[in-house]
Amino acid sequence: MPTERDTRLPLPEPVRRLWSIARRLTLLYFCATAVLLLLAAGYLYVGAQRSLARSDRALVAGKLRVMQGLLLENHGQAGVLENEVEHEASSNELFRYYMRVLDARGRVLIETTGMAGLLPVLVFPEPVRVTTGDPPIVERQVGPDRTYLLLAAELEAGPAGQDRRILHIALDVAHNTAVLARYRWRLLVVLGSGLVFAAAVGMMVTRLGLRPLRAIAQSTQRITASNLTERLNPGQWPTELRELATDFDAMRDRLQESFSRLNEFSADIAHALRNPINNLRGEAEVALAQERSPAEYQQILASSLEEYERLARLIDGLLFIARTDNPNATIEHSVITARREMDAVQEFYEALANEKQITVICEGDARLTGDPMLLRRAVSNLLANALKHTPPAGRVVISAHNTADGAAEVRVSDTGSGIAPEHRARVFDRFYQANKSRDQISQGAGLGLAIVRSIMQLHKGRAEIVSEPGRGTTMVLRFPALN
């Protein structure tokens, strides 16, 4: 037995709320701008950091070369060295650096004021003898918030370079931290302002860019069954939307054509059904007006039966055309010998042709692919139409042959009255009849040739007409080449 759990109604699936195109484009624009600004800010920050580091190391290397020259040229002149070591270093306001000169035994000869307490000798690395290149510069943190670039070099002193001196140079780089902190803050301000500006501009640009789409949407909202004449005119839209506008106009053309055909089809059906129904109603009213003999009732029923048969043929034809008009409709293809189907149709209409004193001849043969029953129906409709419009002692020829490219043609030619030029373009339309007389209406509903055209469309072929008033008509069925 079903449990309570089994009888519960399934829960509805949650509705996914998708973002609008404007919101998505704005977000994408914002993210792209954010990534670009972050990369630019990172690049500028790293560049500034490296530039400061290069400048500091260049300053230390420059002081090394200055002291190297002074020791070689002014050996023993304490005043010059004191001025450079004590006064120049202590009076520089932009860069705080310290220098110390020691003899070969490591005794301090001269140093910048206050250097002994801040940077004792043991803080510096082992001195490196200077030959061609500069000795390594070491960055070291000596105390809290105190970072220095340290250099220790062994230099030649004296005019002949007979003496040795040890030079210590220390550059305070703590100021770089403050400079970079201020730079980071400015970059953050610029980055934040840029992101806000990017979001606002992205929203505005997106709205402006999507304005043509909104115009197209508003135009499509005005489409109704009674308003299909409005067009988008692709030439006035941007390049990206021209294809969309062209497709919309093509869709409206198809809709307008379909509605026109539907309206015309509905009117034709109403007209085609009205005649037999009026006939049946009139006969019934006449039969009920007074007492009739059995023979009279039998005659009325026979006449009504003819109208019923006509209605049945009409409905059958309409259903067939409706099925073949379906774009997904397909047929079973097989190799057909056209002559066999032509002979079968000739045999079926032989009695009618003899009654009308019309000669029907079959000539030639062809091989084609398609449905044999549909081919027989198409030829039958053409032959029936030819017999209808051919006078007594006339002639109808059914022929078939293969063309040089492998295609097939089936022709039905008669010696009838022919078709006037103004009617040839519409003879394959539904319910169309060139002769609107009562006799013609009673014989057919105007669906025979429309069915032929539908059959040829299913076979990927076409139906054509060649006619000359007073000299007869030739109907041509062209089938594609064998695969």
Two tokens, residue 74:
């002014």
Two tokens, residue 147:
């970072």
Q: What is the three-class DSSP state of 349?
A: coil
22-181 CATH: 3.30.450
Structural domain boundaries of the chain? 22-181, 234-321, 330-479
**Residue type present at position 478:** R
The answer for residues whose C-beta is within 8 angstroms of residue 413's C-beta and 6 or more apart is 386, 396, 397, 399, 472, 473, 474, 475
Count of H helices and E strands in the chain? 14, 13
Q: Biggest alpha carbon distance in the chain?
A: 161
Per-residue pLDDT at 398? 93
Alpha-carbon distances of 433 from 26, 272, 311, 416, 447, rounded to whole Å: 62, 12, 17, 16, 9
Three-state SS annotation for 255-320 = HHHHHHHHHHHHHHHHHHHHHHHHHHHHHHHHHHHCCCCHHHHHHHHHHHHHHHHHHHHHHHHHHH
Q: Name residue 398's beta-bridge partners.
A: 362, 412
Question: CA 399 to CA 406: how far, in whole Å?
Answer: 16
Two tokens, residue 180:
């970079």
Helix axes 239-289, 211-221, angle to 10 degrees: 10
Q: Are strands 367-370 and 408-414 parallel, antiparallel or unpaired?
A: unpaired
Q: What is the three-class DSSP state of 145?
A: coil
330-479 CATH: 3.30.565.10
Question: CA 356 to CA 354: how far, in whole Å?
Answer: 5
Per-residue pLDDT at 397? 93
Question: CA 433 to CA 268: how far, in whole Å?
Answer: 11
Q: Contact 138/119 with Cβ under 8 angstroms?
A: no
Q: What is the three-class DSSP state of 467?
A: strand
Two tokens, residue 394:
């006339």
Helix axes 239-289, 294-324, angle to 10 degrees: 170
Question: CA 476 to CA 428: how far, in whole Å?
Answer: 12
Q: Contact 96/110 with Cβ under 8 angstroms?
A: no
Residue carrying structure tokens 């057909």: 336
Give one DSSP letter per residue of 55-101, joined into a string: HHHHHHHHHHHHHHHHHHHSTT-HHHHHIIIIIIHHH-SS--EEEEE
**Residue type present at position 130:** V
Q: What is the three-class DSSP state of 102?
A: strand
Per-residue pLDDT at 245? 80
The answer for residues whose C-beta is within 8 angstroms of residue 362's C-beta and 6 or more apart is 339, 342, 343, 346, 397, 398, 399
**Residue type present at position 17:** R
Q: What is the pLDDT along the chain (483 residues), one digit of tens a residue?
A: 445 445 555 555 555 567 777 788 888 888 888 899 999 999 999 999 899 888 888 888 888 888 888 887 765 555 667 777 776 666 666 678 888 888 888 888 888 888 888 888 888 988 888 876 678 888 888 877 788 889 998 888 877 667 888 899 998 888 788 888 899 999 999 998 988 988 888 888 888 877 877 877 777 777 776 777 777 777 777 777 778 788 887 887 887 777 777 777 777 677 767 777 887 888 888 778 888 788 887 888 888 887 787 777 777 777 777 676 666 667 778 888 989 999 999 999 998 899 999 999 999 999 898 888 888 888 988 998 889 888 898 999 999 999 888 889 999 999 888 887 777 777 877 776 665 543 443 445 567 888 888 888 888 888 888 888 878 889 999 999 876
Q: Are strands 359-364 and 334-337 parallel, antiparallel or unpaired?
A: unpaired
